[in-house]
Amino acid sequence: MVKGTHQAIDDVRNETVKIFINGEFHDRREAKISVFDSGYLVGDGVWEAFRVHQGKLIFIDQHLDRLWQSAKVIGIDIPFSKEELINNVHRTLKINGMKNDVHVRAMLTRGIKKTPSQDPRLTISGPNLVIIAEFKAAAEESKTQGISLFTSTIRRGAPDYLDPRLNCHSKLHEVQALIQAIEAGADEALMLDVNGFVATCNATNFFMVKGGEVWTSTGEYCMNGITRGNVIKVCSRNGIRCFQKNFSLFDVYGADEAFVTGTFGGLTPVVKIDGKSIGNGACGPVTTNLRKLYEGLVAEQLK
């Protein structure tokens, strides 16, 4: 089992799930899309992932707003409404008998190309929509034991290069960062921005705690994470001092606690960075409290 923020309990039901592709359902092993798809050829597409509990799509409005914004940024005209996408997600859940501990990924690419090329004018079909829903319960190991990070030499790019807020299919630099971390013996990667300040992780957003204060990056060089925003929200609601600011590894190594946030894992404690223990090397009290407060916010979605 892979340890990290996406560590899930194996579920044999996933072997027979049905995948939604452009309005039709296909058995997992038969679910295919053309090799001329823009996403496959040049990473030309956007996606969203979200959780399902008690049949409810958690924070779905925020996720769909981000998907529509990302599609607009790269010039994909989405040929359906948010309500239609939600209906297709529910169709996918129903055909698979899914209600709890479900992870859904919706992927939208520009469409099929006439020939291998990055030129969008050579696209000969409408956008391709794929919805993958799986039974995924987060494993407790990462939540209880925490994870380790390694600071990658791969930097988060500036907005005039590839805006880090764009949730697109082009994730190669994050993959490179993660490979470095794995080869260094860590679970995931910590990434700096172009100025050397701490930005984010390869697949999650980074927070540290110092003197009871919660720090996270300015947000200029990281994914505008839904969970990140909700953690900032619960801090504000509960009088916890939270700052979006520039800080360096000097500050991180001296942190009392650290944690990362993501749709799948929620809040996951970070116990070691670059071989250095953070705090006492375990999940700290502020992280524990914020996890409970965040879970309370999720519970509000179920009402």
Q: What is the mean pLDDT of the chain?
A: 96
- Summarised one tens digit per residue, pLDDT across range 210-233 is 999 999 999 999 999 999 999 999
- Which tokens is 240 given? 């916890």
CB 251 within 8 A of CB 197: no
Query: Using CA atoms, how far apart are residues 188 and 181, in angstroms rounded to an integer?
Result: 6
Reduced 3-state DSSP string for 26-79: EEHHHCCCCCCEHHHHHCCEEEEEEEEECCEECCHHHHHHHHHHHHHHCCCCCC
Say if residue 285's pLDDT is above 90.
yes
* Residues of the chain above pLDDT 70, percent: 100
* DSSP E strand boundaries for the chain: 18-21, 24-27, 45-53, 56-57, 102-109, 128-135, 147-151, 188-192, 198-201, 205-210, 213-216, 242-244, 257-262, 266-273, 276-277
Sign of CA dihedral 131, 108, 188, 293: negative
Mean pLDDT of 104-127: 97
Mean pLDDT of 72-101: 97
Q: Specify the residue for token string 């010039």.
A: 75
- Summarised one tens digit per residue, pLDDT across range 31-60 is 999 999 999 999 999 999 999 999 999 999
Beta strand 24-27 pairing with 266-273: unpaired
Nearest to 33 by CA among 92, 121, 103, 111: 111
pLDDT band at 303 (very low <50, low <70, confident <90, very high): confident
pLDDT the model gives residue 160? 86
CB 167 within 8 A of CB 294: no
Mean pLDDT of 62-78: 97
DSSP-derived letter for residue 211 is: T
For helices 226-237 and 60-73, angle between their N-to-C axes, nearest 10 degrees = 130
Query: Using CA atoms, how far apart are residues 268 and 113, in angstroms rounded to an integer?
Result: 40
pLDDT the model gives residue 157? 86
Higher pLDDT, 141 or 211: 211
Residue type, 129: L
pLDDT band at 162 (very low <50, low <70, confident <90, very high): confident
Mean pLDDT of 196-204: 97
- Which tokens is 49 given? 């992932």
Say if residue 258's pLDDT is above 60.
yes
Q: Is 182 helix (H, G, I), strand (E, B) or coil?
A: helix
pLDDT the model gives residue 140? 85
CB 297 within 8 A of CB 228: no
pLDDT the model gives residue 64? 98
Summarize the chain as % helix, strand, coil (round to 5).
35, 30, 40
pLDDT the model gives residue 3? 82
Q: List, in sequence order, every residue forming a beta bridge with 267; answer none if it has no partner.
A: 261
Q: List, in sequence order, every residue forming a beta bridge with 207; answer none if it has no partner.
A: 216, 259
Please give the C-alpha separations between residue 150 and each of 68, 253, 260, in angstroms, as whole numbers. 33, 12, 13
Read off φ and ψ for residue 273, nearest 5 degrees.
-135, 125
Say if residue 174's pLDDT is above 80.
yes
pLDDT the model gives residue 229? 97
pLDDT the model gives residue 202? 97
Mean pLDDT of 2-22: 93
pLDDT the model gives residue 1? 56
CB atoms within 10 A of CB 57: 19
Query: Using CA atoms, how far apart are residues 301 and 55, in angstroms rounded to an integer?
Result: 11
pTM: 0.95
- Which tokens is 239 given? 């009088």
- Which tokens is 31 given? 């679910």
